[in-house]
Structure 1
């Protein structure tokens, strides 16, 4: 179908990557984005000399980035200046009876991690070495045979590459990640260091399959990096590549319906500046929230899923984001800092349980890119980004700049600032804040049509992982494809790049299991 007309809905990572891959293939591609800013959740906000990434902040799986860049005829080093973070991150635990637990700096590299584990729990070093070897095997198997696999038919499950890698994957689906960790380690913080990556997947370590211990290969074995200038540099590179490939990009242009005839997709009806028109297309790619596409852009008879599917979905957490410009230095924090409460079961039950509530106290994440990058804050100041997981519930509200926003969001932000102040030993933190902005689940719903206001999309439970997660090709409308965090293979910037490649495979009719040959 080289030379076909393609319309990509959504200017986030998956949308921009898909548009570039299709354009390089020779298709005539138009990308539409309802907002004025491209990059999707990978956004930027600037004020008074502070520059905040408003979305992703962990650079993991560098080989996936490099593979994508090579697919479009360039390399990572042509676009990004990456630095290794040492330590990868810092952990603070919950103070008990007024006693503050010492911070734990988590290094990268197997030997350094073994030394850390052994220092806290005799014998844990030997066990974590085996754990990390297993994580690396599972990661390599997933990348080689599953993550890039379009699973176009049942024959995909019998492909030699899939069968060869099955022993490293299948046995890990029968138990939870937490069960796997608990049986090997007794120290609470060591368990949490191995279990927290489940949050990156929009789920809890009690619900994620043990397969996802492969995440520990990414941060503990391979290490954490940061692109100088922030993740906006990556978003800018995607926009520039798309334009270089000839993609037509229209911002402030919203899809209102996907059109079809008796045999296949025919185009997208869009609205821009109050006027509606049809963009004709032989290929349509939805790179936005899958629930919105299915329930708002398609006629009932064209939908791949019944309504019951959405009611049963385990949705990943919502989030309250807090962006703070802080006067003075904060040596108590690293580029990445994690605050872990003692009672994780209560934390995750608050978010995913039958009676959702805001965790108290929450475990949450703090990013301070000014520890690495002089360009994100004025001299003598720090740039902080807090992410507090909350239930996926739009009624929690919306945020705002300074004192603007809904009360619940503001209260969650205030409590998180106070908690960080106490746990990290920064008693005057609140008084030193000179810039503040908050974002709540209502903003995710408004800005991204995010189902239930989730920050991440469907949780990566066993029934919502890999080929069980969703469709990358419409069941009902030939020529319609899905990609992005709410589709396959899942949450995270690398997954969105892989999802773009899966769409390219579908368009080509390529059923191969692994990454495509690089140009």
Structure 2
């Protein structure tokens, strides 16, 4: 039966859920607190420059294809996708970097050059990672995290040992060259935890990296949001922006609507794609499933200090995506996960989309995004932000052998306080809850409230986990759960 459904937030998971629910015939309205949709995937437009505020990596193109296929569409109906070559480069010292190109064959050549004999080991490693990808992304993650038995299949049983070893152990067992180790450990950082805390099974991220490659939607990642908005509107979804939710209404232990801007909106079902912890603060305390102690004990993915910089010239010696691993990774990871503090010497990442895409910066100029991963919950102020901008600019200029500071037209920053203010993000985390062994699948916060009927959740803090592709999947999972529970009512 057709239901009136309120969705809180308009990020990837909310938009995906809205599309599936509207396709099933429900009356769906999305409430977004900010003035534009997209959640963390918004845009900054300034002086002819366009920046993706949030995600800048387009990985796992098959997940996007699968989403659009569910509506008899394909990504190319909405945006133009380009495979990046090189995918990215990694700096280890001054003028010293390894470039990761667009095919496994080329990457094997780069590995062989770095460590003779490593290409054969890499090929075997990626074959195993591909097998994991086929089990995980094509099957396992499309389960709603309701029962531990979802993980028990004939395919996963054969891989049981991979849930009890770690990426760090596996990589370091096979590869001795520290630079190659860092490159192979890098992809799991998207899952929000240290390689030493990430189960071996998640090596499927290495296949996503080396096997499938890195892509860029022309005009930026926000084009995916716009595509999903178009799809949702065509399916009948209504959008309300500048519409923060003040309270989720519950009557007889059943979600009955929301209050936004002082006005009551009744509905049959409430689905939140907003921060899970924040969503529960919108309920009377008796309806909260998880205590503050519960959230405080969880391993959260990092927050970030981001800078969006307009340069008046083209930047040399970098690629569209460039990683700076010239300092001690373990010390930085310790400052994020073990003893939360501002790192003394942070690793950082830089993206220059205007190298690939003429739409995002004026001719002859460069758009740069710089990101430093941080522990969530840190003190954040302008002085600290500027201190760290100076740190990474000093290193950036030294490592890439050029002056860029004198060519900055403007810079904008985004950090812990902004994640809290703009997204109600728990402790200002940027990527949700990490995918550690004890925070996988059915061990994550549930898609369906156990205390309030007709209240559901989606997004990075529930299943399957952090990242854009998992968020698309999360939206599908919760829509299926809602349809299953309300098919006869």
* TM-score category of the 2 structures, normalised to the smaller one: over 0.9
Task: Select 2:390's aligned residue among 401, 414, 420.
Answer: 414
Structure 1 pair 323–154 and aligned structure 2 pair: CA distance change class (3 A):
closer
Q: Secondary structure at the match of 1:435?
A: strand
2:119 pairs with 1:125: yes
Q: Distance in 2 between matches of 1:375 and 1:288?
A: 30
- 1:398-477 residue pairs with structure 2 within 5 A? 406-426=382-402, 428-477=403-452
Matches within 5 A, 1:30-109: 30-93=29-92, 95=93, 100=94, 102-109=96-103
1:367 to 332, 348, 351: 351
Unaligned runs of 5+ in 2: none
The match for 1:513 is none
- In structure 1, the residue matched to 2:209 is 219
When normalised by structure 2's length, the TM-score is 0.96
SS at match of 1:393: coil
User: Take 1:252 and 1:177, find their aligned partners in 2: how far apart are those partners?
Assistant: 42
1:141-169 deviation per Cα after TM superposition (whole angstroms, max 9, x unaligned): 01233211014345545xxxx51321454
**Residue in 2 aligned with 1:402?**
none
Q: Structure 1 residues 56, 335: CA separation in 2 closer, same or farther (over 3 Å shift)?
A: same
Q: Write the distance in 2 (CA, Å) between the matches of 1:77 and 1:323.
A: 28
How many Å separate the matches in 2 of 1:194 and 1:110? 13
Post-superposition Cα deviations, 1:194-248, rounded to whole Å, max 9, x if no partner, equal: 1011221122112212122110111111111100010111111111111111111
User: Aligned pair in 2 of structure 1 residues 195, 154: CA closer, same or farther (>3 Å)?
Assistant: closer
- Give the 3-state SS of the residue equivalent to 1:434 in structure 2: strand
| 1:482-517, Cα deviation, whole Å (9 max, x unpaired) | 11112211111111100010011101228xxxxxxx
Deviations 1:273-331 (A, max 9, x none): xxx1222111111101011012x111222112233211201121111101111122223
**Structure 1: gaps of 5 or more residues:** 398-405, 511-519
- Residues of 1 paired with 2:341 and 2:205: CA distance? 27
The Cα shift of 1:78 comes to 0.1
* Structure 1 residue 263 displacement after superposition: 4.7
Q: Secondary structure of the equivalent of 2:137?
A: helix
Give the match's secondary structure for 2:310. strand
Closer, same or farther: CA 422–154 of 1 in aligned 2, 3 Å: closer
**1:267 CA displacement:** 1.3
8 Å CA contact 1:32–1:251 kept in 2: the answer is: yes
Residue 486 (structure 1) aligned with residue 486 (structure 2): no
1:298 is the counterpart of 2:292: no
Moved over 6 A (4+): none
**Counterpart of 2:305?**
320
Q: 1:233 aligns with which of 208, 223, 234?
A: 223
Aligned equivalent of 2:325: 340
Q: 1: CA distance between counterparts of 2:153 and 2:303?
A: 37
Identify which of 222, 239, 257 aligns with 2:247. Answer: 257
Q: Distance in 2 between matches of 1:14 and 1:325?
A: 30
How far is the alpha carbon of 1:34 from its aligned partner? 0.6
Residue equivalent to 1:393: 377
1: CA distance between counterparts of 2:357 and 2:144? 38
Residues 304, 507 of structure 1: CA spacing in aligned structure 2 closer, same or farther, 3 A cutoff? same
Aligned to 1:178: 168
Which among 147, 160, 170 is matched to residue 141 of structure 2?
Answer: 147
Q: 1:151 to 1:207 in 2, by over 3 A?
A: closer
Match of 1:403 in 2: none
Q: Report if the CA contact (8 A) 1:268-1:278 is conserved.
A: yes
Q: 1:110: Cα distance to partner?
A: 2.4
Number of equivalenced pairs: 485
Q: Tell me the SS of whatever aligns to 1:236.
A: helix
The 8 Å contact of residues 325 and 434 in structure 1, kept in 2 or not, is answered as yes
Q: Quote the Cα distance in structure 1 between the aligned partners of 2:53 and 2:179.
A: 28
